[in-house]
Amino acid sequence: MTDLAALPAWDALTAHAATLRGVHLRTLFAEDPDRFARLSFAFGPLLADYSKNRITAETLGLLSELAAARNVESARAAMFAGQRINRTENRAVLHTALRNRDASSVQPLDGTDVMPEVRAVRDRLKAFSEKVRAGAWTGATGAPIRHVVNIGIGGSHLGPMAVAAALEDYRRADISLDFVSNPDRAQIDDVLKRLDPAATLFIIASKTFTTVETMANAHLAKDWIVARLGAGAVPKHFAAISTNVDAAVTFGLSPDAVFPMWDWVGGRYSVWSAIGLPLIIGCGYEVFDQLLAGAEAMDRHFETAPLEQNLPAILALIGVWNIDHLGMAATAILPYDHRLRLFPAHVQQMDMESNGKNVTMDGAAVGAGTGPIVFGGGGSDSQHSFFQSLHQGPRIVPCDFIIAARGRGANDKSRDLLMANALAQTEALMKGRTAAEVTGAAADLVPHKVFTGNRPTTTLLIDEVSAYTTGMLIALYEHKVFVQGVIWGINSFDQWGVELGKELAKSLEPAVSGGPHMEKALETRDSSTAGLVAVYLKAKETP
């Protein structure tokens, strides 16, 4: 693979950045009254305004040349064709097949069409969820299920939890949804103490049925059910998403309540699969199908549109421009809708786990900045916490503002207030305020009231937070992350960086438990780790 920095397209962008670095966004807007029309893109119920980024038509042209030099279109085709683009794990990447709703086939390199099995699992999910919702699947005492607790971690936790919050208006009022991931048992204890065991269904989401944190919580849940309803109650109160059916059955589950996963679906891309079971039970299969439909619409757009008219590609390339050529190493995700409050956490994992890499597919150093530091939160609350730094801090952070034009059943003044605040923030970040514009302040206060502005934002405006638009938004970010990975030459679909900590934790467990092998577990540790273990063990002994 050609070194990124050696590409003529990369050099051209570097030179172009030097000409734009001192140009203020105020100037760009003043020179082009039609800037918004030229630098915004409408697709269905979604409008993306990227005019408040420090870009011009020339910037976008040069970025398109970079995409061509990095063969983004052929990489895109390879993903949709089911080729094993996850080379470090020799796997296809087919989360898009999970939301393929037409009659077409998807055949990976081995020639097997994955769609018949995908459709069969969808049918099973629909049938199982309808039984639960109708009261045909009951607990051991015959009580209908009224509480669903998802036990997972990572993508099998953040994805469905974020979507559940987004789709709260579609949820049945008499079925609660909870999500447990933390091995600190305080989390699951807080959930269990307000549930009726006779009406509770646990969903264990673990592809291998061996994930340490997930299985620790699964056993706590099982103990809770057994203590209250008896061992024979377990099959009626547990379902699982896993490839390891035998382990699930050994745990006590009915095979009818075990739904498969595939190795071509990464956890952070899995909400479209059986991992979505808690959403299906809570909201109904028809709502889940609309989630798939929104994602599928974005897939078709991404797959077929030329890159210069391709929303995920445009946003991805602007991100590369901000990170690598303007030196902005972070991104803030700021939804101005309460239903999307958990969306930043999902995007954070999707982006940072995918593109937080420092070597290319070939194992060479990347030679450029890769995935940004992603953070965020609900826009209104964030205005009163970290926005101070966004406006006047020394580090410029590009921001994505996500706004819904209307709320479901809440088209009142509160929506106007949200919109006014969001748009005002993007304007303030763009314009700033000069010393000459500060009025009514003592001279010594003027520097404190000056804002440099020239800080990039992208605004994503949807008509409302629905299952369809939620699917569109998630797929948009998935494809944006993919395109950026292709530009940087990295594998966006492995996550070896999480493995070392897991391995060391396993070897440390005998030490922190104070067992007979404690000394052996500590003999090769550094003094800090060994010292902290000693303090922990002493604290455990304190009444």
The set of catalytic residues is: 353, 384, 502
Name the strand (E) or helix (H) holding 132.
Answer: helix 115-134
Contact between residue 203 and residue 151 where contact means Cβ atoms under 8 Å apart? yes
Strand order in the sheet with 373-376: 40-43, 46-49, 457-462, 399-404, 330-336, 373-376
The rounded distance, in Å, linking the Cα atoms of 359 and 362 is 8
- Which sign does the torsion angle of CA 29, 34, 40, 44 carry? positive
Report the C-alpha gap between 456 and 461 in whole angstroms. Answer: 16
Phi, psi dihedrals of residue 307, rounded to the nearest 5° = -60, -35
- Sign of the alpha-carbon dihedral angle for 209, 349, 474, 102: negative
Could you report how far apart the first and last alpha carbons of the chain are, in Å? 60
Retrieve residue 504's tokens: 């060391």
Instruction: Please name which of 423, 334, 316, 412 lies closest in space to residue 372, comparing C-alpha atoms.
Output: 316
DSSP 432-474: -B-GGG--S--GGGGGGG-B-----EEEEEESS--HHHHHHHH
* 253 CA to centre of own chain: 30
Cα separation of 225 and 233, whole Å?
A: 7
Q: In DSSP terms, which residues pair with 376 in a beta bridge?
A: 333
Q: How many other CB atoms are found less than 10 A from the CB of residue 235?
A: 17
User: Which among 237, 267, 418, 308 has a CA at the least distance from the CA of 60?
Assistant: 308
When computed from its CA atoms, the radius of gyration of the chain, rounded to whole angstroms, is 25
- DSSP letters for 271-302: TTTGGGHHHHHHH-HHHHHHHHHHHHHHHHHH
Chain position carrying tokens 């030679």: 367
With tokens 């995700």, the residue in question is 333
Phi, psi of 225 (to 5 degrees): -65, -45
Say how far apart CA 168 and CA 286 lie, in whole Å.
15
Structure tokens at 532: 């902290």
Query: What does each C-alpha distance from 297 to 77, 106, 117, 301, 402 come to in angstroms?
Result: 16, 17, 22, 6, 19
